[in-house]
Chain A
Amino acid sequence: NAGVMQNPRHLVRRRGQEARLRCSPMKGHSHVYWYRQLPEEGLKFMVYLQKENIIDESGMPKERFSAEFPKEGPSILRIQQVVRGDSAAYFCASSPPTGNAEAFFGQGTRLTVV
């Protein structure tokens, strides 16, 4: 049973370009969460999704950021018109649809905006 798979592991984008980060949850997990980590800081919650539904996006910036988890395929975190401040590690986690279950994290995608 493969763990949470994120790709790419490293992504470099120029200011103004779009960044697409992908996350495939563990088999049997229908809940996906995205977190962002700035250097030397803890992870910050961004969004919680279930298949085809956004459950809680209270941590998402109001503009340029969006997330989806389609019926088929991986979850996508999309950042439009990236700026230098978007440079960070973005982690995806997944869990099964049971209460207070342990969340398993992926290896993360390190986004660098130049």
Chain B
Amino acid sequence: LAKTTQPISMDSYEGQEVNITCSHNNIATNDYITWYQQFPSQGPRFIIQGYKTKVTNEVASLFIPADRKSSTLSLPRVSLSDTAVYYCLVSREDSSYKLIFGSGTRLLVRP
């Protein structure tokens, strides 16, 4: 599975839009891109998943360029409760259970 690289940490303020970019240069044709959120002392929570172009749900948007070598998670108008670790994962359709978590991006939202 492709290795992912994302910033170790990011700071933001309430109400701002936050974009977290993840690199996955060796992504394979049948790989999906998935983002999880983890709060302290809790299990990860699925945010969004995509294969190409743009995916949007009630929580976030995921932008994937044509070459799929990177992806950007966009969180609109963050609040203090969005302070968490965000993980970018690449998973293969036939073994999607084997999620490979990197160190994630620690997002701190300030008042």
Contacts and interface: CB of A to CB of B under 8 A. Distances in A.
Interface of A: 4, 31, 33, 35, 40-45, 48, 55-56, 91, 93, 95, 99-108, 110
Contact of B46 (A35, A99, A103): A103
B32 A42 contact: no
Q: Chain A interface secondary structure, helix, strand, loop or mixed? A: strand
- The main secondary structure of chain B at its interface with chain A is loop
Contacts of A4: 43
B37 to A, nearest CB: 11
A108 B98 contact: no
B101 A100 contact: no
Contacts of B32: 100
A101 B97 CA distance: 9
Number of chain B interface residues as a range: 20 to 34
A98 to B, nearest CB: 10
Top 8 nearest A-B pairs (CB, nearest first) are: A105-B43, A42-B101, A43-B101, A100-B96, A102-B46, A91-B43, A48-B97, A100-B93
Interface in B69-111: 87, 91, 93-104
